[in-house]
């Protein structure tokens, strides 16, 4: 296999800077959001991945976090307001704002120094709703050069489909009812109202990336019944690849997998590492 970090432990431990982890607490609009950083070994600074979980975050992709940490990356996973013990109320806008706030903190001089972050090698990577947040925030911040969306969930398209497809409405309502159980301060109707009010703003097909050297990877599962490729992936890839400053900056990979890639976790890791390696981001 091309990447031993997928299945092999570290042979020689750096006694001064061993692999480690630490709790993180970030304040967002007066509420504390809780997370963790997986630290690779070595003094660094290290390229850093902000790994954004989906809605509600039952799948947090910690296997990818461990693999990427062994590959030499800092990996940060945190919980948005109102989710999984973080303070405040959950909303999709808060997801976007909390992601923006975390980027701001990670790139601050104090956090970058203390966490040994290589500030010019920040990667936003998100699954499902996390992919939505990664793409929205990446489009707003030209200093973020690398964005990876895994089964990205296009909330704007979902809102538009709610009003014209009864089956889609029933399916989405049932999914939201199941997902809000671990969340605070929200409800299905509240979330539906929120996305209905932002149909155009939150349609990823309307995104424009301003950075000429920004790189985007879109990963989709061909059997995904949540972020259906024909709604969430194909139109977005077509739009971004046709409008990109350099078409090579936007790449798609489609795996024979469902929404959480349960049967393709190794393949998923290989795809991500391949893409990072081609951009000289994987530490030697």
**Predicted local distance difference test score (pLDDT) of residue 2:** 86
Domain 4-278 has CATH 3.40.50.1820: yes
Contact 21, 39 (CB under 8 A): yes
Q: Before 259, cis peptide (omega within 30)?
A: no
- DSSP states of 69-80 as a string? HHTT-EEEEE--
Rounded Cα distance, 215 and 193, in Å: 33
pLDDT category at 225 given cuts 50, 70, 90 is very high
Check: CB of residue 88 under 8 Å from CB of residue 29: yes
The rounded distance, in Å, linking the Cα atoms of 263 and 137 is: 29
* 129/242: higher pLDDT: 129
* 123 touches 49 (CB < 8 A): yes
- Give Cβ neighbours of residue 161 (< 8 Å, ≥ 6 apart): 168, 169, 172, 231
Count of other CB atoms within 10 angstroms of residue 202 = 22
Query: What pTM does this model have?
Result: 0.97
User: Cis bond leading into 17, ω under 30°?
Assistant: no
Alpha helices in 141-252 (DSSP H): 155-162, 166-179, 188-196, 234-243
* pLDDT value, residue 276: 98
> How many helices (H) does the chain have, and how many strands (E)?
9, 8
Asked if the model's pLDDT at residue 244 lies above 60, the reply is no
Check pLDDT > 60 for residue 162.
yes
Residue 83, CA distances (Å) to 79, 104, 254, 268 in order: 6, 20, 30, 26
- Determine how many CB atoms are found less than 10 A away from the CB of residue 147: 27
Tens digit of each residue's pLDDT (9 = 90 or more) over 5-52:
999 999 999 999 999 999 999 999 999 999 999 999 999 999 999 999
Q: Write the CA distances from 140 to 137, 211, 218, integer angstroms.
A: 5, 9, 18
Q: Could you state, in order of their start, the residue ranges of all structural domains in the chain? A: 4-278
Distances from the Cα of 30 to the Cαs of 10, 25, 86, 88, 140, in angstroms? 40, 12, 11, 8, 23
């Amino acid at each position: 296999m091309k990447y031993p970090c997928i299945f092999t432990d570290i042979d020689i431990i750096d006694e001064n800077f061993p692999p480690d982890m630490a709790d993180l607490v970030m304040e967002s609009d007066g509420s504390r959001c809780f997370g963790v950083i997986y630290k690779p070994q070595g003094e660094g600074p290290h390229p850093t991945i902000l790994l954004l979980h989906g809605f509600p975050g039952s799948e947090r992709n910690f296997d990818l976090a461990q693999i990427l940490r062994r590959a030499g990356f800092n990996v940060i996973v945190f919980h948005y307001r109102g989710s999984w013990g973080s303070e405040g109320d959950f909303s999709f806008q808060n997801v976007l704002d909390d992601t923006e706030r975390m980027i701001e903190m990670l790139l601050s001089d104090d956090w970058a120094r203390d966490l040994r972050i290589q500030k010019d090698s920040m990667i936003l990577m998100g699954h499902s709703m996390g992919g939505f947040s990664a793409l929205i925030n990446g489009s707003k911040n030209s200093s973020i050069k690398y964005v990876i969306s895994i089964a990205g969930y296009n909330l704007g398209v979902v809102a538009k489909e709610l009003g014209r497809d009864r089956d889609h409405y029933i399916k989405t309502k049932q999914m939201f009812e199941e997902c809000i159980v671990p969340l605070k301060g929200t409800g299905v109707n509240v979330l539906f109202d929120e996305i209905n009010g932002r149909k155009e703003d939150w349609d990823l097909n309307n995104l424009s990336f301003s950075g000429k050297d920004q790189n985007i990877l879109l990963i989709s599962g061909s059997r995904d019944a949540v972020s259906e490729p024909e709604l969430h992936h194909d139109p977005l890839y077509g739009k971004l690849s046709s409008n990109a400053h350099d078409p090579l900056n936007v790449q798609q990979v489609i795996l024979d997998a469902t929404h959480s890639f349960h049967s393709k976790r190794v393949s998923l890791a290989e795809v991500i590492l391949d893409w990072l390696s081609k951009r000289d981001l994987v530490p030697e």
